[in-house]
A = this chain, B = another copy of it.
Amino acid sequence: MRQSLARDFNDLLERGRDRQLRLAVTGLSRSGKTAFLTSLVHQLRHAGLEARLDLFPAAREGRILGAQRVAQQDLGVPRFPYDEAMLALDDTPPRWPEPTRGISELRLSIRYRPGKRGMFRSETAHLTLDLFDYPGEWLLDLPLLGHDYLSWSLAQPLATDSPLHNERRALFGDWLEAVKGLDPAAEADEASLATIAEHYARGLREAREAGFANLQPGRFLLPGELSGAPVLQFFPLPGLAEHDRASLAALPEQSVYQTLVRRFSHYQQHVVKPFYREHFRRFDRQIVLVDVLGALNAGPERFEDLSHALSTLMKSFDYGKRSLMSRLFAPRIDRLAIAATKADHVTPEQHGNLVALIEALLADPLQDLRYADVPVRAMSLASIRATQAREVEHQGKRTPALRGTTLAGEEVLVFPGEVPARLPDAEFWARQGFDFPAFRPAPRDNGTLPHIRLDSALEWLLGDKLQ
């Protein structure tokens, strides 16, 4: 009888422990989302055996008994292509996986033994881990929900004459030319609006190619089934002013201005909101990946641009009571990580600087988040380590260096230089004491994927759920 009671209690405990966690990964394009998620799934699947996860106690203590992929809940969301990614990494020569487009999902069922604090050491429990991956560009659209078309138009840097955005403006030359003669009061001509909108979208695409990150509206870059639909055919109108509001509002329905107003509003309601409503507000935890090194490589205007984009992106995690996000969607993310990726592209003694730099880059949003009591941690990591750190004799002294294979297939030994520990100033840019080359992944030879501090990220994002 006693034994049976104890067993019942045990069962109850075990069921109580069966938990679910929805963890989302995001970042701007080329920040390393696919590599991160692939490596995360890979490490968890091998956590009981070969994986090296010393900074992840549940794994280090041998308490992770297995992680199995199981059927995801939402049948209409593409499955994260884990197998394809592993095939790419195991190819000869190894390749980086194809980047994902849009949102994707993968569900892991993790069987583990709870830690010391568990009452019954022999019990096992399950954690159902739903992983999501989505473009950070989608988060750049949040502020757009706080605007109407006029105020949005006024807030776009391109619609103003600012010498701060010269490189970017150059990419929008065709659009600036085309939109110049457009009279907001004129009757809208469908075909000409479509052409001007296409110039704008091309400007955005070219800006992305050129390394810019602060690109709105986000869905213009990845139109999917909306390609060619009027909802993606709006743009800011230069030359407007807030004091024109009343006269603009009085323009007829068929005017250029009112047509753009309708499209902007449709974009808010039918493109931006559904993502937040159906996906974002259901995430429990989130990691935001940032390719800081890529931006450093690209120079001051693009670094500044990344900084703006990240501030915008981070607004989606601002749960302060009066924030746009809280007012609109009542989100529930209870833990956040910001990670500078590709840490293997600099020498180990620079990793501290990398974390300091990302903290500096996100100083304002991090302060807001901490003020709003959102637990957040900044870190640096390499989801899949592609290089080996070395110390070599260089110009007469022991110097840290990296050995790796470039994307072109050349084996090299490089001295990538210094990461600034604070926001780079003009003097830093003038000196340019760095050059971070891109490497291809190393063959893993049947071992688990090598990484740098992915275990630390796992601990922050999952550790407490595996106690």
A78 interface neighbour in B75, B76, B226, Cβ under 8 Å: B226
| A76 in contact with B226 given A190-B69, A191-B69 (CB within 8 Å) | yes
A75 interface neighbour in B71, B79, B266, Cβ under 8 Å: B266
CB-CB nearest in chain B for A231 = B75
18 A–B contacts, CB within 8 A, in A order: A69-B190, A70-B254, A71-B188, A71-B230, A71-B259, A75-B229, A75-B230, A75-B231, A76-B226, A76-B231, A76-B266, A78-B225, A78-B226, A78-B228, A79-B190, A83-B194, A104-B228, A225-B225
Distance in angstroms from A75 CB to nearest chain B CB is: 4
Flag if B77 contacts A229 (CB, 8 Å): yes
How would you classify the secondary structure of chain A's contact residues: helix, strand, loop or mixed?
Answer: mixed
Contact of A72 with B by CB under 8 A: yes
* Ranked 7 nearest A-B pairs via Cβ: A78-B228, A75-B231, A75-B266, A75-B230, A78-B229, A224-B225, A76-B231
Contact of A262 with B by CB under 8 A: yes
A190 interface neighbour in B70, B77, B102, B190, Cβ under 8 Å: B70
Contact of A263 with B by CB under 8 A: yes
Contact of A81 with B by CB under 8 A: yes
A270 contact set on B, CB distance < 8 A:
75-76
| A79 in contact with B230 given A70-B190, A71-B188, A71-B190 (CB within 8 Å) | yes
CB-CB nearest in chain B for A69 = B190
Please, what's the 1-or-0 string for A155-193, where 1 marks a CB less than 8 Å from any CB in chain B? 000000000000000000000000000000000101100
Flag if B194 contacts A79 (CB, 8 Å): yes
Interface centre among A78, A83, A194 (most CB of B within 10 A): A78
CB-CB nearest in chain B for A79 = B228
Distance in angstroms from A437 CB to nearest chain B CB is: 32
- A333-384 with Cβ < 8 A to chain B: none
Distance in angstroms from A33 CB to nearest chain B CB is: 15
A224 contact set on B, CB distance < 8 A:
224-225
Distance in angstroms from A197 CB to nearest chain B CB is: 11
Distance in angstroms from A104 CB to nearest chain B CB is: 7
- A79-103 with Cβ < 8 A to chain B: 79, 81, 83, 102
A70 contact set on B, CB distance < 8 A:
190, 254
Interface centre among A71, A81, A83 (most CB of B within 10 A): A71
**What separation, in Å, do the CA atoms of A230 and B75 have in the docked complex?**
5
A79 contact set on B, CB distance < 8 A:
190, 194, 228-230
Contact of A227 with B by CB under 8 A: yes
A228 contact set on B, CB distance < 8 A:
78-79, 81, 104
Flag if A75 contacts B225 (CB, 8 Å): no
